[in-house]
């Protein structure tokens, strides 16, 4: 339920910095700011909207100055939430931000719940649910590609696409209703063939959106790439070379890595979490055994495996055992130490396992690393969508509801082919409209809304 009280929260990270922002939103916003803000220019009865005002925030208890600030006022309904909003721009730091917020709460505001400002923006019709969800995706974007996908949703382009599909559904529903009400006047009713064509257009549009999910979600969420292999083949050196940073300790002694090391890099727009793991081998060391157990877990969890071999040595029984234990998932064979005389033949590796590709590198001299990155990308992305010119679905909730919508539309198609009565067809069509409406928030329950906005930070 939407309680139209006044809320406040810190909207920037609580840390030492130049600027921190505190938001207030609701009907009591001006009344609250009038009690703690001193400014010669700010008219508390009718301030000018979308202006900045310089002044001082004072402590309610002893009337002492807390900080010099800039206050921005945004009048309802032309604000982020659709309510009166004040944003206080102060110096950033835990003490000053919390002190100002504490005074705002003393004046009668309530501490905002996670995502409550954005939730109010949705409930007041400023944005739809796809735009609201895109805000958290913008905040969490790890690459420019994921930002582009989220930005298109925030611009309302996904909602526009769904509205066009909804419009076609409503057209069919209207024609079905006309068939029910005016069945004797056949000239006023679209033919069954035309209804089938129109319904198939809807089906094709939904399928096209669903087909973008797998790749788009990779850009949004990223993938895990685990570097595995026996001890001392250069796994940590490979990690450092991929990252262009000395992230992992490298020595000539086997078993140096005893725990997983995780770092995320951007490979052609995809956030790739590179995981260096402990070497797989026989050991009596309890710590190494724990590290190997973690490696085996990472092998199960990873989206792609980078199995490293020492190219200056023959394949041995330990290499073979690791190959034999590989799960059925994408794996790239990385033949390291290409700067040394190569004894291990790439064709041998290809013949003993169905690796997606075999790449020779020198982790020591950064040779072959860019090619390896390209192979990681090529093994992940099946359909290279044009992110700039296409609307992509990267949210599992959207995909699930689109699949539900499609199922209802396919039932409509089947019913039209079988000349089922219009009343029954209308039931399936309405189910499709309800599922589509859940995506944009037109038919979404309060519980679903709460779950969505709880993923936001307080202050957003």
Mean of the per-residue pLDDT values of the chain: 88
Mean pLDDT of 203-218: 94
Q: How many residues does the chain have?
A: 460
| Runs of H (alpha helix) within 37-128 | 94-106, 116-123
Is the backbone peptide bond immediately before 77 cis, with ω within 30 degrees of 0?
A: yes
Greater confidence (75 vs 233) lies with: 75
| Mean pLDDT confidence for 204-217 | 94
275 and 310 co-located in one domain: yes
Are the beta carbons of 277 and 257 closer than 8 angstroms?
yes
Q: Are residues 208 and 224 in the same domain?
A: no
> What confidence score (pLDDT) does residue 253 get?
47
Domain assignment present for 51: yes
Q: What's the pLDDT tens digit per position in 400-413? A: 999 999 999 999 99
Nearest in space to 327 (alpha carbons), one of 358, 290, 296: 296
Is the pLDDT at 5 greater than 60? The verdict is yes
Same domain, 204 and 269: no
> At 190, which CATH number?
1.20.120.430
pLDDT surpassing 90 at residue 281:
no
Q: How many angstroms separate the Cα of 176 from the Cα of each of 179, 187, 188, 407, 430?
A: 5, 14, 11, 19, 11
Which residues have a Cβ under 8 Å from the Cβ of 26 and sit 6 or more positions away?
4, 5, 6, 7, 83, 84, 109
How much is the average pLDDT of 338-354? 85
DSSP assignment of 269-286 equals: TEEEEEEE-PPPS----H
DSSP 387: T
Residue 279 reports pLDDT greater than 90: no
Q: How far apart are CA 452 and CA 450, in angstroms?
A: 5
The answer to whether residues 365 and 398 belong to one domain is: no
| Res 188: pLDDT | 47
Q: What is the pLDDT of residue 351?
A: 85
Instruction: Identify whether 262 is part of a domain.
Output: yes
Both 249 and 348 in a single domain? yes
Least confident of 154-163, 256-265, 341-350: 256-265
Residue 394 CB neighbour total at 10 angstroms: 24
**Residues 152, 206: one domain?**
yes
What confidence tier does 459 reach under pLDDT thresholds 50, 70, 90? confident
Cβ pair 215, 202 in contact under 8 A: no
pLDDT of amino acid 309: 92
Q: Check whether 57 has a pLDDT greater than 80.
A: yes
* Residue pair 162/441 in contact by the 8 Å Cβ criterion: no
| Pair 300, 200 in one domain | no
Q: Per-residue pLDDT averaged across 44-63, rounded?
A: 94
- Mean pLDDT for the stretch of residues 41-45: 88
Q: Is the dihedral of CA 199, 202, 208, 209 positive or negative?
A: negative
Whether residue 425 contacts residue 176, with contact meaning beta carbons closer than 8 Å, is answered with yes
User: Which region among 43-47, 287-291, 348-352, 428-432 has the lowest average model confidence (pLDDT)?
Assistant: 287-291
Range of the domain at 353: 220-380
359, 380, 401: which is the final residue of a domain? Answer: 380
Residue 386 lies in a domain: no
Bridging pattern class, strands 304-310 and 331-336 = parallel
In a domain, 366, yes or no: yes
Residue range 343-356: mean pLDDT, rounded? 85
Q: What percent of the chain has pLDDT over 70?
A: 91
* Segment 411-441, tens digit of pLDDT: 999 998 888 888 888 899 999 999 999 999 9
Residue 251: pLDDT band with limits 50, 70, 90:
very low
Q: What pLDDT score does 120 carry?
A: 95
Mean pLDDT over 195-214 rounds to 93
Same domain assignment for residues 316 and 367: yes
Statement to judge: residues 228 and 348 lie in one domain? yes
Which residue reads 């010099």 in tokens?
68
Supply the pLDDT for residue 423: 86
| Total domains present in the chain | 3
> Residue 322 maps to which CATH number?
3.40.50.300
pTM over 0.75: yes
> Facing residues of 331 across strands?
305
Summarize the confidence of residues 250-254 as an average pLDDT. 48
Q: 122 with 236, same domain?
A: no
**Segment holding 202, helix H or strand E:** helix 192-210
CB 6 within 8 A of CB 28: yes
**Same structural domain, 225 and 191:** no
For range 259-270, the mean pLDDT: 84
Mean pLDDT throughout 44-50? 91
Q: Are residues 92 and 198 in the same domain?
A: no
Task: DSSP for 107-128, please give it.
Answer: TT-EEPPBTHHHHHHHHTTSS-
Q: Which residues contact 193 (CB under 8 A, 6 or more apart)?
A: none
Q: How far is CA 364 from CA 310, 312, 457, in A?
A: 12, 13, 42
Closest CA to 18 of 97, 73, 86: 97
Region 320-348: mean pLDDT is 88
């Amino acid at each position: 339920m939407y309680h139209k009280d006044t809320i406040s929260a810190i909207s920037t990270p609580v840390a030492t910095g130049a600027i921190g922002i505190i938001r207030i939103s609701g009907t009591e916003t001006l009344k609250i700011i009038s009690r703690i803000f001193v400014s010669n220019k700010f008219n508390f009865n009718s301030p000018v909207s979308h202006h900045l005002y310089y002044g001082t925030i004072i402590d309610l208890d002893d009337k002492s100055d807390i900080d010099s600030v800039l206050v921005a006022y945004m009048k309802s309904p032309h604000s982020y939430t659709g309510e009166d909003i004040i944003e206080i721009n102060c110096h950033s730091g835990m003490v000053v931000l919390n002190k100002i917020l504490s005074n705002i709460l003393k004046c009668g505001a309530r501490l905002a719940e996670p995502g409550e400002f954005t939730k109010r923006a949705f409930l007041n019709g400023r944005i739809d649910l796809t735009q609201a969800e895109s805000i958290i995706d913008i905040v969490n974007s790890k690459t420019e590609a994921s930002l582009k996908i989220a930005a298109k949703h925030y611009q309302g382009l996904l909602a526009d696409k769904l509205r066009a599909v909804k419009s076609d559904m409503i057209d069919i529903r209207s024609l079905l209703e006309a068939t029910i009400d005016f069945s004797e006047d056949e000239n006023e009713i679209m033919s069954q063939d035309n209804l089938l064509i129109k319904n198939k257009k809807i089906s094709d549009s939904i399928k096209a959106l669903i087909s973008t999910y797998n790749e788009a979600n990779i850009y949004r969420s990223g993938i895990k790439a685990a570097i595995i292999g026996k001890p001392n083949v250069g796994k940590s050196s490979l990690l450092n070379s991929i990252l262009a940073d000395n992230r992992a300790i490298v020595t000539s002694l086997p078993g140096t890595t005893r725990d997983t090391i995780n770092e995320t890099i951007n490979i052609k727009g995809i956030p790739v979490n590179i995981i260096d793991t402990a070497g797989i081998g026989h050991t009596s060391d309890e710590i190494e055994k724990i590290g190997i157990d973690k490696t085996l877990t990472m092998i199960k969890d990873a989206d792609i495996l980078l199995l490293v071999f020492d190219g200056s040595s023959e394949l041995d029984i330990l290499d073979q055992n690791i190959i034999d234990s590989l799960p059925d998932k994408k794996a790239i064979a990385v033949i390291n130490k290409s700067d040394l005389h190569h004894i291990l033949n790439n064709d041998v590796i290809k013949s003993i396992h169905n690796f997606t590709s075999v790449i020779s590198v020198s982790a020591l001299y950064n040779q072959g690393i860019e090619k390896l990155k390209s192979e990681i990308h090529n093994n992940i992305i099946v359909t290279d969508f044009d992110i700039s010119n296409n609307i992509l679905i990267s949210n599992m909730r959207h995909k699930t509801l689109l699949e539900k919508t499609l199922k209802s539309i396919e039932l409509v198609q089947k019913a039209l082919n079988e000349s089922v009565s219009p009343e029954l067809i209308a039931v399936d069509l309405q189910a499709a409209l309800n599922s589509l409406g859940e995506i944009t928030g037109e038919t979404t329950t309060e519980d679903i809304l709460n779950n969505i906005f709880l993923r936001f930070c307080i202050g957003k």
